[in-house]
Structure 1
Amino acid sequence: MAQSLVIMGVSGCGKSTIGRALAARLGRRFVEGDDLHPPENRAMMAAGRPLNDAMRAPWLERIAAELAHDAGVVVSCSALKRAYRDRLRGAPGVVFIHLALPFDVAQTRVSARADHFMPAVLIDSQFATLEPPINEPDVIEVDATASFDTVLDAALARLARMGRSGP
């Protein structure tokens, strides 16, 4: 059985872009985690106000439901805190791919986006919330400052070494 993948990291790290490419390469369904936010959450973020744990809870429940419903799905989700990742680990065999990105690069990338609700003013809160997944089970870390092809190839190679890349 294929393992579900959660493509995680701060805003601007490439979760959606890499997630879509991984799903296509592996012949899996991709779910854009941002689409699962309640409208109130998106409005809060668009207004430059960070979400708290209570606001994130319904969103994480929707993502967890996707993971439980479709073994093998690829989902983009910031999964910034260990508690969030542990909630998503409720589905069997979830593998996280952490697209690691330094603050300055995230700030530059998000500032350059014109078509996304997440403003650059929230990068500070993203990094303040981030609990890096150091020594957590089933986490692959990839340097998201590398080129698209390098990031994609690194993620696929690490999945293959884990024996988790099958459809």
Structure 2
Amino acid sequence: MLNFFTILLFLFTIFMVYAVITSKKNRKMAAARYHEILSGLNSRMEDEAKEQGLEITETHFSVTDEKEGYLLGIDTVNRQCILCGKEIVRTFPFDALTDCQVFTTDDVDPQYYQSIGVRLEFAQQEPVALVLATKRGKRKGFIGSELLRSAQEFQLFLVSETRKQST
């Protein structure tokens, strides 16, 4: 009986060591991917800022479920924003932004969503939809709640930065 528990304890210990090693490895890989996405968008933003004669003082980064992201930069002196994504680079003045809303596309099952994003509306330009979640997911699941929180933080950052600079 003692040998059985000893073997069981030994197997459990090996499993725990394996779990710790793989979780550290996965965290390092995720951090590397995060920084890779951020640095690519950051260099595109710096190029656009240089071209437009802007100086970015504040930034906000949001990651999508497709391992992409959106980087928003604020120039408080010139009252301009730069938005960079995989397929978008847009510069706009603070006062051109008329609305910024978080949206979710509902699924047939109310516990799930089809997509999560942020919609930016402008006075003279076409609206922009930044989709953070493109895959069906559970609203109260970890990924769904994190992507919704990220969209809300993006909205809060953009609205608070553009509104506080207008006073």
Give TM-score, length-normalised by structure 2: 0.28
Which structure: larger Rg?
2
Structure ranking higher in strand proportion: 2
Higher relative contact order (CA 8 A, sep 6+): 1
